[in-house]
Amino acid sequence: MTAPAPLQIIAHRGASHEAPENTLTAIALGLAQRADAIEIDVRLTRDGGIVLLHDDTFRRTAGHDAEAGGLDLAAIRQLDAGRWKGPAFVGEKVPALAEVLAAIPTGRDLLIELKSGAAIVPALRRELEKGLLPLAQVVVIAFDFELLCAVRAALPQVRVLHLAGGPEAGRPHPLSELDALIAGARTAGFDGLNLGDDWPWAAAMVQRVHQAGLRCYVWTVNEAARARFLAELGVDGITTDRPGYIRQQLQMTASDQW
């Protein structure tokens, strides 16, 4: 069984409650608020670059209808990714992955959620092999099981977590569905599961994951009472838009690694 580790507070798209998501400003704020890790979303550009973007298009965050794969990196860099959040953020750029890798300090992790298909894996490997961030600090996450298998094969040194939302109505019993996820993760050699807060969380869930030798993370939690409940269950990490607030509410001290 995997040895216990301190609970990680993970800044969801950076400190995205207060700053525009998936920007360098949000990432810097998340680090300043003592997040143990930063979570970002990445997509492949038309010319093979990797940029930060959650949605299918830039409409919500940059006022442009194009997809990342429909624009070259240089064109994406001209977009304003901050104006939608408020006048203080006008002119904020869409970051390239390389900029984020260079911004993560020693002792903090970077969770990279893949939002593109398998074509992003070779590009991701090229970026990570440049050495801007030690691979020991990198965690790759995705909902797509086969995509994560490709990551595991291409980048055996990085940690891999399978994302999964809660079971839908009419689906198998939650613990049965969890067992299927656990079996898949173990077979594929993943490091853990990253499960939505819409699962019916209980101690038995966390115990099942841990007994399988896997880490158990949860997303996205912004309320103090809910964070306390999940921490008491023994989850390994809580992803939140409000890392400073959640850390303070849990009365946690920052990791002594940094």
As a whole number of angstroms, the distance between CA 30 and CA 210 comes to 28
Active-site option among 12, 17, 64, 162:
12
As a whole number of angstroms, the distance between CA 144 and CA 129 comes to 23
Residues paired with residue 162 on neighbouring β-strands, in sequence order: 142, 193
As a whole number of angstroms, the distance between CA 222 and CA 225 comes to 9
Q: Tell me if residue 12 is catalytic.
A: yes
Active-site option among 17, 54, 162, 173:
54
Give rounded-to-5 percent helix, strand, coil for the chain. 35, 20, 45
Q: Tell me if residue 54 is catalytic.
A: yes
Backbone angles phi, psi at 218, to 5 degrees: -135, 145
Question: 């797509």: which residue's tokens?
Answer: 144
Catalytic positions, please? 12, 54
